[in-house]
Structure 1
């Protein structure tokens, strides 16, 4: 593994089924640029410029300039990076430049916020996504990808793999449902804008995404597990760990979103997952201890009394055949994903 595992990942994507040369001389607008997905998209496109002289201009939508300066410290002098400061859903987005493509991953992703501010979570998702759809129509973009989530499927207890045509149960009496239900509404908005305005918009239903490139603020369960074994500590579960997870490696997800911009069918949704990366939370914790522990660590269950916002247990296995049929291929299994995540976290001292 190279000294910089993230740049090694970017090189692999550049040498993959994604024909990045098709983005040459294009202007690409990315929301949520200080989040995991958004930041990696920005960094990859700027790296592709360096390696292949593609002259891609990246418009990175941010809320906080100071935060953006820290995340993109290595790119602040890059003339191909343009920051756009705006607050999603508040109609303060102003940009006169010509745009060719939009990717919209910005959303509330912290479970604690979904519980403490469900109204804000819904407004950010629905109002923000409609704002971006209007923006895409106004700028007459060639294509837009809306980054949705596997949580739109709700709760499943099926042994069959879940395809894009399936929908499970979402409990509308639970405030935590603000996230999956608002994601469903955003997908419907995409369909409506495609029908009514002819917008070439596609939907990517991302599995949980992790690997090299996670940010210092990352505290989702995969990062907690990795930090525990790096520090030689037990992995502590705050649930029984029965919920089944579907995962995809960071570089594979970035490749999928750009691949869908070029190859996805209008108004269609695509699962972005690695079917081999499917296991319960408990199984994942045990795998991390087994493969990366320093000898004495174990998995401990400590369930808190208060509700801290975890999604309800679900049992589903995402089918990725629709996306794969277009030519996309995932590359990293769970062990490889964790190996590269841990390497990155040590490298960045996270």
Structure 2
């Protein structure tokens, strides 16, 4: 059978690491998965890890992968599209195409994720999150799925400045009159929809509150801050900060995040939320820039402070997620911050 990422040995190693961990979940053998946002960073690794489970452990899993652009899916999955176990469904969560088989498990990751879009297209951001999630939940209910996980975000906690790790029962302030709140408010409402379906219909849906996640597989042209830093190192250019870089958060490596999604899906409590992060990676944006500089020979930091509202930047916050609840499910983070950046840079170099 075909390798999942033959042109990126860093990503291929990550996928095999994920599939090895998942091989103990025998309950997903011979099952059907529906993945939304399947050509995105985490969605694509989820799909490839399930295909790897088939190749390495004979799990006979069928995957229906919802994507918005077939050309992107071709570039993402390559020869895996020849595998009969993978079916690409071109469409949108706002109008989900017909799925020709009953579905056992759903991982819902489709979302508008561009910070700039939160302020330039706030209505689309909100509608995609709420109406799209309703449609996926309704599909899950009609299929009487064995499990579903919704990929939420640490941004649902709003603006927090805390020296203590934030557990799932904490809440921060979100200004509903701020255009930038289109993403965080809609994520919060989508979570409440999940709880509603769990309570009213007994749907076994769980929520994953993901911190920012990066690693092998990040597109070379990705515009998120960690990708910008890595790209500057690769191109031997200065890292330009448009804020003072005081925001602090913890992060998670891609393969660790994907593993966490399956632990939540298969071991989590319906109607509950679980933080997903590596608690040992708390760092400010400025400190992350300094870490990136340490990997380069001709890269320095320069500041060009601008009006953050025009770029969709978050206000300065300090938030680190407490993953105690997730750890109780048997999960633990494996990749530390320095290795995260090393693997990110090596993978991006391969994919220039």
- Coarse TM-score class (shorter-chain normalised): over 0.9
Alignment of 1:68 with 2:70, yes or no, is: no
Q: How does 1:324-343 map to 2 (within 5 A)?
A: 324-343=327-346
Task: State the shift of 1:84 in Å.
Answer: 1.4
What is the root-mean-square deviation in Å for CA atoms of aligned residues? 1.5
Alignment of 1:111-190 (within 5 A): 111-190=115-194
The corresponding residue for 1:194 is 198
Structure 1 unaligned spans of 5+: none
In the alignment, structure 1 residue 33 sits paired with structure 2 residue 38: yes
TM-aligned CA distance change 1:335 to 1:112, over 3 Å: same
Cα contact 1:62–1:84 (8 A) shared by 2:
yes
Task: Name the CA distance, whole Å, in 2 between partners of 1:195 and 1:20.
Answer: 26
Cα deviation for residue 18 of structure 1 reads 6.3
Query: What do the CA deviations read for 1:155-174 (whole angstroms, capped 9, x no partner)?
Result: 11121110000010111121
Contact 1:18–1:259 (CA under 8 A) maintained in structure 2: no
Match 2:86 to one of 81, 98, 113: 81
Please tell me whether residue 228 in structure 1 is matched to residue 232 in structure 2.
yes
Which one is further off, 32-41 or 125-134?
32-41
Q: Give the structure-1-normalised TM-score.
A: 0.95
Distance in 1, matches of 2:221 and 2:153, equals 20
* Cross-structure match for 2:272: 268
The separation in 2 between residues aligned to 1:3 and 1:156, in whole angstroms, is 38
User: 1:254 and 1:194 mapped to 2: Cα distance?
Assistant: 23
- How big is the shift at 1:318? 0.9
Quickly say closer, same or farther: Cα 1:269–1:286, change in 2 above 3 A. Answer: same
Q: Distance in 2 between matches of 1:12 and 1:77?
A: 23
Cα distance in structure 1, aligned partners of 2:52 and 2:115: 32
- Report deviation, 1:25: 0.5
What is the Cα deviation at residue 215 of structure 1? 2.7
When the two structures are aligned, how many residues end up with a matched partner?
345
Distance 1:216 1:19 in 2: 33
CA distance in structure 2 between the aligned counterparts of 1:273 and 1:92, rounded to whole angstroms:
30
Report Cα offsets for 1:281-328 as digits up to 9, x if no partner. 0011111112x111x321111123471111111111110111011110
Q: Which residue of structure 1 lines up, in the alignment, with residue 282 of structure 2?
A: 278
